[in-house]
Amino acid sequence: MPPKLAVWKFASCDGCQLSLLDCEDELLTLAGEVEISHFLEASSMIAPGPYDVSLVEGSISTPADAERIRHIRRVSRRLVTIGACATAGGIQALRNYADTEEYRSVVYAKPEYVATLAGSTPISAHVPVDFELRGCPIDRSQLLEVISAYLAGRRPGIPDHPVCFECKMRGTVCVMVAHGTPCLGPVTHTGCGAICPAYGRGCYGCFGPATRPNLGSLKTWLGSIGMSRPDVDRAFATFNVAAFEEQPDDPP
Amino acid sequence: MTHRERTLRVGALARVEGQGAMYVRARDGRVEEVRLDIYEPPRFFEAFLRGRAHTEPPDITARICGICPVAYQMSACRAIEAACGVTVSEPLEALRRLLYCGEWIESHTLHIYLLHAPDFLGYPGAVEMARDHRHVVERGLALKKAGNTIMELIGGRPIHPINVRVGGFYRAPTRAELAALTGPLRRALDDALATVEWVAGFDLPDDRLDHEFLALTADVYPIEGGVPRTTGGRTFEVADFEDHIIEEQVPHSTALHARLAGGGRYLTGPLARYALNRDRLSPLARDASRAAGLGPVCRNPFQSIAVRAVEVVYAVEEALRLIEAYRPPPDPYVAVPPRAGIGRGATEAPRGVLFHRYELDPAGLIGSARIVPPTSQNQAAIEDDMRAVVQARLDLDDAALTAVCERAIRNYDPCISCATHFLDLTVERS
């Protein structure tokens, strides 16, 4: 029997599971190696669990979803989160720092109809997670690496250095040093291929914090090249807001 | 007297973007209630956009939808540039249109091959379909990849492109870089024409909708902008969108339904664009539509798959034309200094008109934001169509009737991730 792969969705934009369908050259090969047993966006065929590998997209933000992820954990041998929502709560975690009641009334005419938790939390706040794949969105080749690794029974080979390393490997001139462009690359987890600096813009942190980032030093730098404090705070308060909030400002 | 009541439920719709469910109730041979339920959790974008800088909405609102991030980026840029009184130069507009063509190709091909065609050929999904029709699915994936390649080159990556900014781009590609797309796009054009021929051969159920159509109109087939117009003869400026489109909560439903002011429900998306802009298609795309048996207006929603295929032909050809005509702009963007004001913008997302409005303070911080995605505009039309589909087929058994309802929903390619921040969640079930 081929191993069973399942894909699950919580609060998210669908982009990370779309990354699997964006593997145009590999999709049919992958489908020959695994049984895609539960992937609602791609097929109405649903095979019962247990599943060998579950890919989970999205954050937990409703009482029903908090229950559903516990069920998914029970029927999954390996559970891998894909993307910033599942790994860090996503941009919708901005509500964790605001008044959810007030948010609800801004968006909905009859807010009392909307069932929601006060916060948007990562999957790991609810169940044990075997591997967390970063990115808003995730990188296709990293996704294939993680799936291949679990099929082969090894740990995924996903580096955890900052984006700066990738700029150096690509030969991209440092946008902050050379042009004074604000860049979160020094504290951001690698994985995207350092695309933003290659296009002349600073990294905006969509892969979340690197391991032991020196946030305090970077914030000082950003101030010295002309960013106001509110601008600096907003720069960290986007797609991985909850993960950056957890990091100390002091050097590690 | 005995009453025969019959209900159909699909708890989790497959092959749609996002999390939706379907509920139908019939009594004594009459359909009494039809609902496309949305249980996708809310993400509150309009709320947390407040207080953000006017440069941020393209990146932030892209995250509403991974399938059509470029649509969000383009509508956001349009609205903010309008608020700041800035117009973007012609070469930058052309580059935006080219990027958007990439998204149309990618999104439409995803829907045609992976989400919708399995319905017509009797498979649960494209992977299962590939066991019998491998070369067809491979053709679809290659065509989809051609769209992604455009987005990767111009946008930096296909999902949540990084190169779009208010006023233009961070970096404009060189002519040589774009020329590298020509070969793959020429092959894609053959694949796109073959796609129209393929879907034209599908056996289509009979159905007819009578909604008014709403689409943007322009000198060219509308993608990155235009003037809203309806088949009922109504025309208005994007700046007046909110005077013409009313959203209201109806008592028996949990969703905000859009309607035309002083009018009824309407439909936006490929069928509407085609009905209002067919004469703006390229000759090749028009010929393809004729060969596929499409008239000047398609009112059978099951024909939408063919209209999408025709739009893919157009988008591939248009991308080739834009690449051929491309001259790098003098600067990759125009400066957009903030000022106090309100700006509105609308573009044609693959699923229809996507409207944004932002209110800025003098420093450019957002005071309020409003986003009206196509799927929430279409919700009333989708439910109305489901009602007609069910009423005409009450003699079918539950499984067959449920299947045809799901197919009918997929005609509209609903994007529930997009719609959700406007739709209520909790459904009262008696």
The ipTM assigned to this model is: 0.95
Chain mean pLDDT for chain A: 92
B428 found inside a domain:
no
B429 found inside a domain:
no
pTM of the full predicted structure?
0.95
> Is there a single domain that holds both residue A224 and residue A124?
no
Closest to A139 (Cα-Cα) out of A5, A14, A16? A16
A251 found inside a domain:
no
Range of the domain at A180: 163-245
Of B52, B170, B426, the CB nearest to A115: B426
Which residues does chain A have within 8 Å of residue B112's beta carbon, measured at their own beta carbons? Answer: none
Distance from CA of B386 to the nearest CA of A (A): 19
- A14 contacts B42? CB cut-off 8 A: no
Of A11, A31, A46, the CB nearest to B41: A11
Span B11-57, pLDDT tens digits: 788 888 878 888 888 888 898 888 887 777 778 888 889 999 999 99
CATH number for the domain including B376? 1.10.645.10
Structural domain total, chain A:
2
Which residues does chain B have within 8 Å of residue A200's beta carbon, measured at their own beta carbons? Answer: 170-171, 332
Span B179-222, pLDDT tens digits: 999 999 999 999 999 999 999 999 988 888 889 999 999 999 99
On whether the CB atoms of residues A23 and A56 are closer than 8 A, the answer is no
Residue A117 is given by DSSP the state -
> Is there a single domain that holds both residue A174 and residue A123?
no
Closest to A234 (Cα-Cα) out of B215, B46, B50? B50
Point out the domain boundary residue: A152, A183, A209: A152
Does the annotation flag B415 for ligand binding? yes
Helix, strand, coil content of chain B in percent (nearest 5)? 45, 20, 35
Residue A4 is given by DSSP the state E
Range of the domain at B97: 5-422
Does pLDDT of B252 surpass 50?
Answer: no
Point out the domain boundary residue: A96, A117, A152: A152
Does pLDDT of B251 surpass 60?
Answer: no
In angstroms, the CA A188 to CA A244 distance is 9
> Is there a single domain that holds both residue A9 and residue A133?
yes
> Is there a single domain that holds both residue A114 and residue A84?
yes
What is residue A100's predicted lDDT score, i.e. its pLDDT?
67
In angstroms, the CA B136 to CA B327 distance is 36
Total residue count of chain B as it appears in this document: 430
Span B373-417, pLDDT tens digits: 998 899 889 989 989 988 999 899 888 888 888 889 999 988 877
Q: Which residue of A has its CA nearest to B256?
A: A109
Closest to B230 (Cα-Cα) out of B190, B262, B275? B275
Distance from CA of A31 to the nearest CA of B (A): 7
Starting at the earlier edge strand, list the strands of the sheet with A4-9. A35-39, A4-9, A51-57, A76-82, A131-133
Structural domain total, chain B:
1
Q: What residues are paired with A78 via a beta bridge?
A: A53
Backbone angles phi, psi at B175, to 5 degrees: -60, -40
Chain mean pLDDT for chain B: 91
On whether the CB atoms of residues B285 and B317 are closer than 8 A, the answer is yes
Q: Residue holding tokens 């999408």? A: B308
In angstroms, the CA B298 to CA B288 distance is 14
